[in-house]
Amino acid sequence: VCEGVRAVEELLRSPLAVKGALVSPALAGAPRGAALRERLDAAHVPVVEVSDREFASAAGTESPQGVLAVAAVPPRALDALDLPPRARVLVLDAIQDPGNVGTLLRTAAALGADAVLAMPGTVDLWNAKVVRSAMGALFHRPALPAGWEAFDAFVRGRGIPCWGADAHGDPVGAAGAPGALALLVGNEGAGLSDAARARCARLVSVPIAAGVESLNVAVAAGILLYQLRP
């Protein structure tokens, strides 16, 4: 389920199969709302019209823009991922906040990561709030859940080294960057899990000021992905 004008625009631009949409009169008043309604019709998406009040009961946002669409979760498999030789894969290790996961997906897409993997303990990638925060990134780039055994087979089979983000790791500026890379980022409070740590050939950090506990996980991942770009 994908909500809001911008998200539904992105959905229509993507290869995902849109099953239907729910719209309310509020859509006509939203910026680009009328144009979006035309595009839904042009794409032959079945549209159900409801009142603003009925829409509010289906919407997850506080100020709904009068449009939400339902699409099929794309069938994606780890062993079918098509990756370049200098692939960047962002690996989410038990990231629990949907807003963080959405921002991580958006960040990974913007900084050229080829895929995002959600490891055990990570919130559902297709949670409505993740979809909203991801701003369309979920619709265009591969993102899929994975277990640790499948992950091991994946990185071993493709020869992708694993690095982990950790406050006590080597400062990223000094770390250079490998050809391909799987970058593991850990839970907001607890950091990398033991399972994740055991798989990391190297730990890297963003050096931060004394007395400050940590960076937000999406900000840290952004700096690391940028620094470690191929």
| Closer CB to a copy of itself, 204 or 220, in the complex | 220
Considering the complex, what minimum distance in angstroms separates the CB of residue 113 from a copy of itself? 9
The four Cα atoms 62, 109, 100, 192 give a dihedral, to 10 degrees, of 170
| Closer CB to a copy of itself, 81 or 215, in the complex | 215
Judged by DSSP in three states, 3 sits in strand
C-beta separation of 68 from 3 below 8 A: yes
DSSP 202: E
Judged by DSSP in three states, 57 sits in helix
| Closer CB to a copy of itself, 9 or 93, in the complex | 9
Considering the complex, what minimum distance in angstroms separates the CB of residue 168 from a copy of itself? 15
Q: Which residues bind a copy of itself (CB under 8 A)?
A: 99, 103, 106-107, 109-112, 135-137, 140, 206, 208-209, 211-216, 218-220, 222-223, 226-227
Considering the complex, what minimum distance in angstroms separates the CB of residue 110 from a copy of itself? 4
Considering the complex, what minimum distance in angstroms separates the CB of residue 138 from a copy of itself? 12
| Closer CB to a copy of itself, 80 or 212, in the complex | 212
C-beta separation of 79 from 60 below 8 A: no
| Closer CB to a copy of itself, 93 or 114, in the complex | 114
Considering the complex, what minimum distance in angstroms separates the CB of residue 187 from a copy of itself? 14
| Rounded CA separation 204/49 (Å) | 51
Considering the complex, what minimum distance in angstroms separates the CB of residue 205 from a copy of itself? 11
Pure H helices in the chain? 5-13, 26-29, 33-42, 52-58, 98-110, 128-134, 137-140, 148-158, 194-199, 217-227
| Rounded CA separation 44/38 (Å) | 10
| Closer CB to a copy of itself, 147 or 207, in the complex | 207
